[in-house]
A and B are shown apart, each in its own frame.
Chain A
Amino acid sequence: MEQNEKAPQDKPSRQKPDEVTRRESFIKLGLGSVAVAGCGAAVFGYEFLSPNVLYEPSPIANLGKPDRFPPDSVTPDPVAGVYIIHAAEGLYALSATCTHLGCFTAWKPELGIIACPCHGSKFNRLGIKIDGPAPRPLPRLKVWVNDEGDLLVDRSTIAPPDQFVRT
């Protein structure tokens, strides 16, 4: 644009209005390359920041022999971060991680409820919220007995509410 303004008026511009100059095409090429490189850098940056190997505990934890859990009881396992409940239908496991903001809940035997110390959410032994800000019930986790007769829990798999391990 600046060039056109400075061009002497008696000398007609040889450039047609819709013609692309070499400079313009090089600028487009350059900007395009920068855009492609930018997208590539974003992808590589994202990949770099996402760890490919995590040294985190396995989601599957061994809870020991099922006869550890007496009938009609709630047993916290603070290492695995789960509760093992022995109901009339059998054994099931609840995650001990509060669905509000991830705090570790505690079983209160004197009240018969699960309570979160951070923001006061309360759950019954089915994991259903009684009180507080938690948006969802405590998830029921998949439990099964392996070949050695140990009760295992998979903390990454949510089980349907009608699934129990019979003892």
Chain B
Amino acid sequence: MAKAIEGYWNDLRGTKVWRSVFRSGAGSSNLHRSLAVQQNIFLHLASVKMRRRSLAFSVTWYLGTLTLATFITLTGSGILLMLYYHPSVPQAYADMKDLQFVVSAGVFLRNLHRWSAHAMVFLVFAHMFKVFYRGAYRPPREFNWVIGVILLLVTLFLSYTGYLLPWDQLAFWAITVGSNIMSAVPVLGAKLRFLMLGGNTVNANALLRFYVLHCVILPLLAALFIAVHFWRIRKDGGLYTGKAETHG
């Protein structure tokens, strides 16, 4: 049975259609395996070879991967929540309540989104602590630390902008306080607050602006910098394993 499946699998990999998609072709040589990674748009961000030790749990505790998993979960559940949510003052709160009590599986998706968001912020910090205390930020990986700090800020802004969208008392006052903290920026503070809220108070414009930031601008920024972050792992010689490394 297993033999038969393997046979079908190998036949499939030999077909013209398969070869048109995966040009590297079937084969278990190092070259074939390397090409399979290198010629795949999703896999080419990763190295074609890595140290076996870098896959050990103790090296990373898989915190970066888990952060990516929460980001993917958030993107998926967030897109589904967008189908029932109108970012307008009369509807936002009612839509949030509908998601909890009326929409099938709405409460599951909303809670999934909420808990994943908390988990993502926690995991980002945990990942950064792990990287910091292991010294994995040191050259040649110092620039990837900088990308990581940008991703931390994007994560926090995603969290902050998402906080307003339920449009309840907690959201309103949290954003009022947060936007007033922003106006403490020297010289530009009050202007920045006005531009971010699209007005002087947390109102319809602020809700719409936060919605666009939360659903479009910040996720795109996050995806862009995540791609750079992963690509840099390869460019900086793979994951830091803690063993003596040689750099050419």
Contacts and interface: CB of A to CB of B under 8 A. Distances in A.
Physical interaction between A and B: yes
A5 interface: no
Given A56-B199, A101-B180, A101-B181, A51 B173 contact: no
Given A50-B194, A51-B205, A103 B200 contact: no
For the side of the interface on A, what is the size category?
A: 10 to 19
B173 A118 contact: yes
A111 interface: no
B176 A56 contact: no
A57 to B, nearest CB: 8
B200 A54 contact: yes
A55 B205 CA distance: 9
Contacts of B173: 103-104, 118
Contacts of B31: none
Interface residues of B, number: 15
A56 B201 contact: yes
Interface string B196-223: 0011110111000000000000000000
B176 A101 contact: yes
B195 interface: yes
Interface string A54-87: 1110000000000000000000000000000000
> What does DSSP make chain A's interface, helix, strand, loop or mixed?
loop
Contacts of B180: 100-102
B1 interface: no
Contacts of B177: 101-103, 118
Contacts of A50: 194-195
Interface of B: 173, 176-177, 179-181, 194-195, 198-201, 203-205
